[in-house]
Structure formats: structure tokens, C-alpha cells
């Protein structure tokens, strides 16, 4: 039963990190497209009406947090089980 829980946790962690990667890629793509829009006069007037919320963190900080989480998950997976039956 412990083995099933470990497998489930690994699968969950993998899915979580894949989702984070997808979110990061989407954010980068949106950032690139928003940086390209101000060059266009019509896009500039549209973006002037919409307020872009300020990010409370940078991509570097997000990547650092992801790396920390990955390192934590790997260290937990490397620990020997406390009791095996």
C-alpha cells in the first residue's frame, strides 16, 4: 500500500510540474506578444484602455521556486522508507 501511495505522489508531482511548465511557457508567450503589440498603433490604443496587472514576482523567481520544489520532491523520493512490511 505504501508503494501505491508513492506512485500516486510521484504521478501527482509529475503532473504538477508539467502544469507549471505549461503555465510558464504560456506566460512567456503572452509576455512576448504584449511586448510586440505597442509597436502597432491600433494595438497601442487597445492596450492603453486595458490595465495590465503588475506581476508580484518575476519569471526568474518563479523558475527558482520551481527548482526548489523539484529539489525538495527529489530529496523526499530518495529517502529510504521508514518501515517496510
**Domain residues of the chain, as ranges?**
1-77
Which residue matches cell numbers 490595465?
51
Question: Does residue 19 register a pLDDT over 60?
Answer: yes
Under 8 Å between Cβ of 5 and 11: no
CB proximity list for 84: less than 8 A, separation 6 or greater: 2
In degrees rounded to 5, what are phi and psi of residue 51? -95, 125
Q: What's the pTM value of the predicted model, to 2 decimals?
A: 0.39
pLDDT digits (tens, 9 = 90+) for 38-76: 555 554 555 556 666 665 777 888 888 889 998 888 888
CA–CA distance, 47 with 36 (Å, rounded to integer): 11
Q: What are phi and psi of 79, to 5 degrees?
A: -65, 135
Amino acid at each position: 500500500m505504501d508503494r501505491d501511495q508513492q506512485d500516486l505522489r510521484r504521478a501527482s508531482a509529475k503532473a504538477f510540474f508539467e502544469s507549471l511548465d505549461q503555465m510558464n511557457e504560456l506566460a512567456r508567450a503572452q509576455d512576448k506578444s504584449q511586448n510586440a503589440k505597442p509597436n502597432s498603433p491600433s494595438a497601442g490604443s487597445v492596450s492603453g484602455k486595458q490595465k495590465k496587472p503588475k506581476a508580484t514576482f518575476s519569471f526568474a523567481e518563479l523558475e527558482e521556486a520551481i527548482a526548489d520544489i523539484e529539489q525538495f520532491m527529489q530529496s523526499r523520493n530518495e529517502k529510504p522508507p521508514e518501515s517496510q512490511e
